[in-house]
Amino acid sequence: MSQELRVVQKSGNSKAPVALRPRPIERVCPLDLRALAPVASATAAEVSQAVAKARVAQDAWRRLPFADRASALKRAAKSLLERRFEALELVRDEMGKLEIEGLFNEGLGPVDFMNGWIGVIKAHGQRQSIRLNPLAFPGKSASIDLVPRGVIGVIAPWNFPIAGLYRALFPALLTGNGVVIKPSEYTPLSSAWLAEVLATALPDGLIQVVHGDGAVGQALLGAGIDACVFTGSPRAGQAVALRCAELGIPSSLEMGGKDAAIVLADCDLDRTVAGVTHWALSNVGQSCGALEIAYVEAHIADEFVARLAKTWPKLRMGPEDYADIGPLANRKQFAIVQAHVADALAKGATLVCGGQATGQGLFFQPTVLDNCTEAMAVVSEETFGPVLAVVRVEGAADAIRRINQGKYGLGASIWTTDFDRAERLAERLDVGVVDVNNHSFTGAIAPLPWSGTRGTGFGVANSHHALGVYTRPRALVIDRNTAPEPFWMPFDRTLWQMGQALSEAQLFDVRNAWKLPYLMQKRVATVRKFFGK
């Protein structure tokens, strides 16, 4: 369609029309820059229709017993695993993710993750009985149900276009919601494949996909969804949070990370070098939980850096089977990585290895920068690439101070053989996730919260702590009494005396406690007489 479509976006108390121009999404394969088939962007009408379809399907889905929903989704998760080679082909084309890495971080996890979420909801999402004081609330019982919010909008990133959606889709669907996904415009078909496979086991229309850029995400927010889960940049996340606040719907936001490793002098250096390498370069560093900074105690820093200088150039790059490092996912991210490395070198960092594009596709050499400072973007901003900034520190306290003053607060890791000390240090870190002698893998464990502080945002993924965005609590109280309550109207002096006796009883002054049964019976008789025939 050539005409301009318009959606309404509130700005303060005013309504500002925002243009939504449907157009094909142009894409290239990061491996060799060949053009990929364009994907049509959704119109405003299509976004609204997607939400409406999901809402119709959700009404029946939410009425199913949890066991039936769980059974359907377990079948869907099994299908995802069985069809994993389709997923690997899509993520290779759309973001250059090599097969062996795609297998581990996109293909292997659905069954385990689904089972984890089923366990979380069995333990924390079922009806909860509340104990009531039998003296204050005689004849009454109470419980809390978590009920689905309705239709959840999911605005997804490109770095884990399949597995990254498990964290939102699995709990949203298990708790009885419908879902509308707005995938990244860089990886639309990978995320759409996930929705397609899930849909084979679900009611027609329950899970919907709308393609496009930020304007389509903006349209989704205004199309009547009941909550939003967002993963992406701080700038976009802040806009989502403001819009959700205007609309009065809950949101869960993850807006980046700048994770750091604290490398202490007593660490097992063999394991530490291997672990820091893996978590700095996994997914080509394109992960919110990637290790981007190593705060290394000064008197082991030379040896630590020498180990990296020896091993990182040996890592294999390229599109070949079993290569270690693939390309960056898109030109925009490629430019950011180049700019951060150039900025660090201009400001005095030492280039240990890498630092250059290979000239093939969007490949960039694994890069170690030593003697980095907070004045450099590789320390202060999210790089999201195969770059590790080494900052030499005097000790753990210095490293913790720097981490806690940073822009982001997603995760950090402590590398040491003194586990008691590590636990004490972890308590001082103002981040959402702390690992000791490992990093980042906890994001794949459904019962463990994945969250952050400061610029990372206030959203929580995984664990029962995340259920608030997918459900709302509903209290149920049943009163089995046939007699009226003694505190009901009409009011009189006897009610005043009863209230005073109850107050004294709560203060353990029992001198007038003997009067309570008499006063209550008298009050019940008064209310009955007043309202009786």
Place of tokens 């009985």: 129
Peptide bond into 30 cis (omega under 30): no
Catalytic residue among 46, 94, 185, 254: 254
Name the residue type at position 12. Answer: G
Residue type, 181: I
The answer to whether the CB of 361 falls within 8 A of the CB of 327 is yes
Query: Greatest CA span in the chain, whole angstroms?
Result: 95
Cross-strand bridge partners of residue 361:
none
Q: What is the SS3 string spanning 132-158?
A: CCCCCCCCEEEEEEEEECCEEEEECCC
For 222-251, letters b (16+ CB in 10 Å) and e give bbbbbbbbbbbebebbebbbebbeebebbb
Residue 347 to residues 107, 113, 342, 343: CA-CA distances in angstroms?
41, 44, 9, 6
Our answer to whether residue 254 is catalytic in this structure is: yes
- Of the candidates 228, 244, 288, 372, the residue annotated as catalytic is 288
**Contacts of residue 442, Cβ cutoff 8 Å, sequence gap at least 6:** 433, 435, 448, 450
Judge whether 141 and 477 are in contact, CB under 8 Å.
yes
Q: Are 209 and 181 in contact (CB under 8 A)?
A: yes
The residues carrying an active-site annotation are 254, 288
